[in-house]
Structure 1
Amino acid sequence: MNIMSEASIETAVNDRTAAAPETVKMRGEKVGVFYGDKQALFDVDLLVRQNQVTALIGPSGCGKSTFLRCLNRMNDTIDNARVVGRITLDGEDIYDRNIDVVELRSRVGMVFQKPNPFPKSIYENVAYGPRIHGLARSKTELDAIVESSLKRAGLFNEVKDRLHEPGTGLSGGQQQRLCIARAIAVSPEVILMDEPCSALDPIATARVEELIDELRENYTIVIVTHSMQQAARVSQRTAMFHLGNLVEEGPTEKMFTNPDDKRTQDYITGRFG
């Protein structure tokens, strides 16, 4: 884990308050997760605010990625996983039996830790989601969605002359931006990012962080990160997890300069984690 000085924290979080009034996009109430008999998450209450970046921090195994996967029901894919409590998207319970999980995951997209482009062309990676969801009525519309998504992901100018070459041939940072383009091609409302820069070099990481800041104008973003500098740079809100519990949550500037809980202070300054 990277240790931060007070000066670097204050520099990173300066002027990161949201301009727009806060609206709750997603809400977790008493969320608990069990893997078989083992409980991994305990009574988590957390608000995710619209058009803001919420960073989930904490030591390995603390429950932050487990909570992230609850937000688009990715835990449904684990045989012995059980989620209790309530999670809403625009006030609607996403675990209601009448919810279409495929539609939910188009509204709440996900970018994983390791870039995972499909073994298809750059174009087909981005076109896949809109095609299966019926978002384009013609090849012209599909072309427009692909171009727009690649532009929003800051990748179009780098790949516009090789759209039909394999996505796996791109650099690691480009592959991750391709995965972001693939996620936003189906017009999600929320984007979940599980350590999206952990496999990237510093230059690629900086580009993705710039992209996250641009994307929050149109999307709500929740990011899991081990990098305290990254959390301070990209987020407006930060939530600290420890041993499956939500320790505290608040504006990033306060969390990094004057947290309420000593565990948060100790983790941020590198005393444990």
Structure 2
Amino acid sequence: MSIFSGIWIPLVTPFANGAVDHDALRALIEGYAKAGVSGFVALGTTGEPAALEASEQDAVLATTLAAAGDLPVLAGVSGNHAASLRERIAQLNEQPLAGVLISAPYYIRPSQAGLIDHFSSLADLSQKPVVIYDIPARTGVRIELDSLLTLAAHPRVQAVKDCSGSPDTTLALILDGRLRVLAGNDSEIFTTLCMGGAGAVAASAHVCTERFVALYRALAAGRLDEGRSLWHALAPLVSAMFAEPNPGPVKAALAAQGRIENELRAPMTRASEALHLRLKQLAAA
């Protein structure tokens, strides 16, 4: 079975007094490993990589790899400067990673031909498996189905983190069978798994992690009634986790549990007090 299945945690980057809190990050990872997650994403959207200096990114990745042990780790790669991205891929080739999670170039909105070239050229350079990150809400451009199917022919492109918001695209990729489809929008985890998706990269799973793992295992085993019951119980938490910009709610929920400080870097802001209280209740349920 491909490693790109199950519940993956796109890790937050904890801060304390403005600095990266490596002890808190290490403790989170160790706890999630015990809860049965399948892997981790370091420096993904939830990890606030744009707010980290290059040295901080390297340190976060080092801590994640050390704490994850035998569990696989993906490193997020994003940006719109081609030479810098190639340099970053070369650096990551030297790390013991399970793969790289590469998003479309943000802000510049390239054509579909430009997107195919973007991913293909980076996959050519990468010595690690590539997971395509399709998240048009953040990049401003959608990777169309035909482009994804073209990229699926590349030997190192193995999976997609699917935030397209298109059930038709999700199903078409699953039916094609060449890419492992991981739900990237937490609200679509249940639907994606029921359609035959491989798993999810779920920010909401920072809390109630065992329940998300149980949801995946129930649906993977065909226990629909059990899976539906678990999903109905998780749905209010998932909704609250994205009521305000990610990762504000995730950090608020973790802070309410005493696991990290409730700190983000500008221009990100903390979750509102009302949402913080709501998350505290849901995380404790």
Between structures 1 and 2, the one with greater strand share: 1
Scaled by the length of structure 2, what TM-score is found?
A: 0.42
Greater relative CO (CA pairs within 8 A, separation 6+)? 1
Between structures 1 and 2, the one with greater helix share: 2
Scaled by the length of structure 1, what TM-score is found?
A: 0.44
